[in-house]
A and B are shown apart, each in its own frame.
Chain A
Amino acid sequence: MRIVLLFALLSIALAGCQEPSSDAAAQANGAQLYAQHCAACHGDNGGGGVGVPLNLPAFQYGVSDDFLKVTIQRGRPGRVMPAFSELSEAEVDALVEHLRSWAPGRPVIPANGHIDGNPQRGKALYAKHCASCHGSNGEGGEGTGVTFSRPRDLPIIAPALNNDGFLAAASDQLIKAAVVNGREGTPMTSFREQGLSDTQINDIVSYVRSFENQPDPNPVGNPDDEPLTIAHDSPYSVEETVKALERAAVGRNFRIIRTQTLEDGLFPEQEQNPNQVIVYFCNFDLVNRALAIDPRVGLFLPCRVTVVEQDDGVKVMSINPKRLAYLFNNAELNRLCDEMVKTYSNIIEEATF
């Protein structure tokens, strides 16, 4: 009897591990998968937000299903869009079908195939016509996609053409179609209408393809290479260390927002542990800069250092911004976090010197 029960339970569990039983079942989940994984950034109807708009007809008619699939699976390393490598093929197909529901009619899908231009000539043309938006080395515009919560210079951010994910997803013909036709509804104009010849456009495409031979512009790294925290011992008491931290933060142009126990708001005041104290501080210029890089950086805010008394003495601890930044897949944010690690370390070292 027990064996039967065990077998039945295992069967149920194993059934849950299987891939969706059919494409039809997966397709039915396209909208659900989109809501779960994509809508927060790209908007419920693909109108864009933290992520770029996906429902523009010019975009929908200018990219192939393969482009969308590879983009979902590989993402854009270092450019916010994560790789959804855990999704099954059927789930990715379902997502693509859902995306396609926003552009009724038959998309003009650029054919796959190599374009044989001259990358040397393309380099000069790229510098003249493309670099102002896409960056001199194809690194793309700064910030995320469109976010309406803060002022933006452009309605859409220029994609990074040197990105491994982009180059894997976009065929030569797809890139050419974008240069030839532009993307209506975005700053990308038709360069055929601007007077570039077919040969010149082919040269640009070949130059963009040559980015594949460059070193990875946005190495993702491994979060395990970064310690979880920045921590130092303090030779002073908790109270003295807190005061020293406040002075050190103010000395680096931060404003003290609040000093409180770690348990503040969790326990009544008289029950809070007085030997765990948080100093919150902020530099609003830095916050503004960080929000322009990625509107989700609230997870780093406000800056904070915690002083704790343990059995072996007083310790001063902060998050390691580089460890947290790994979750954001945003190379620009990584660079800002390099700066933040130095700032945290300097403040803590000064306070514990």
Chain B
Amino acid sequence: MMKRATLLFSLLLLLAPLQAADRLQMARTPQNFPEAMLQLQEVIKQHGYTVSRVQRVDIGLTTFGYQTDKYRVVFYGKPEQVRRITDEYPQLIPYLPLKIAIFAEAEDTLLVASNPTQLLQTDQPELNQVLKTWSADLLSIMETMRGE
């Protein structure tokens, strides 16, 4: 019975409609930057991740005399998963925690992140599944930020 269920599940996975695999996941929201920034952190948490840090790129730039609008980088991850992945797949260490760049563009706010499944494709099924999950969560985060 278990084998049949596994077979059925595998078949369904194989036949699932292919998602458009954009190399970068991007979203534009009509919210101004402070509102979008708050919502992004909330949406990341709703997807089960912890926001570990926010890097204020714009503050550094303006401190040194460069002109820019609001620009931040939000780092996030699932604590136990980050610990496990860095242990089992050390090649991913420089890419963890995950990140989303968020910046103002006129009245709108743009978000951009690299699509994990486009960055790396391996022959390790378990790692591929992790990458797919990150990619799906990212897509969902971007859809929420777009208001879909």
Contact = CB atoms under 8 A, between A and B. Distances in A.
Contacts of B60: 257, 282, 284, 287
A291 B112 CA distance: 14
B28 A43 contact: yes
Given A49-B105, A149-B68, A324 B114 contact: yes
B27 A301 contact: no
B23 interface: yes
B93 A308 contact: yes
Interface residues on A, range: 35 or more
B115 to A, nearest CB: 7
A98 interface: no
A308 B17 contact: no
A84 B96 CA distance: 28
Nearest to B79: A266
A262 B67 contact: no
Contacts of B90: 308, 310, 315, 317
Nearest to B51: A265
A217 interface: no
A150 B61 CA distance: 11
B37 interface: no
Nearest to A17: B17
B6 interface: no
Interface string B83-123: 10010001111111101011111101011111100111000
A47 to B, nearest CB: 9
A196 B57 CA distance: 48
Interface stretch (A5-13, A100-108, A166-174): A5-13
Nearest to A307: B93
Contacts of A9: 8, 12
Contacts, number: 185
A36 B12 contact: no
Interface in A189-218: none
Interface string A44-79: 100001100000000000000000000000000000
A110 interface: no
Contacts of A329: 23
B15 A13 contact: yes
Nearest to B145: A40
Contacts of A14: 15
A50 B110 contact: yes
A318 B110 CA distance: 26
B82 A262 contact: yes
Contacts of A39: 28, 146
A229 B94 contact: yes
Nearest to A47: B106
Interface residues of B, number: 68
Interface in A292-333: 295-299, 301-302, 304-306, 308, 310, 315, 317-319, 323-324, 326-329
A82 B23 contact: yes
B23 to A, nearest CB: 4
Nearest to A266: B79
Contact of A228 (B73, B75, B91): B91
B21 interface: yes
A296 B101 contact: yes
Interface string A101-122: 0000000000000000000000
A84 B120 CA distance: 19
A266 B97 contact: yes
Given A43-B28, A266-B82, A284 B61 contact: yes
Contact of B11 (A13, A291, A323): A13
A89 interface: no
A223 B20 CA distance: 19
A353 interface: no
Contacts of A44: 28, 30, 108
A44 B146 CA distance: 10
6 contacts: A284-B61, A291-B61, A299-B101, A302-B73, A318-B94, A326-B23
Given A86-B18, A264-B53, 16 more contacts: A6-B8, A49-B110, A147-B105, A149-B70, A228-B120, A265-B52, A273-B83, A276-B93, A287-B61, A295-B103, A295-B110, A298-B71, A301-B57, A306-B93, A324-B119, A327-B24
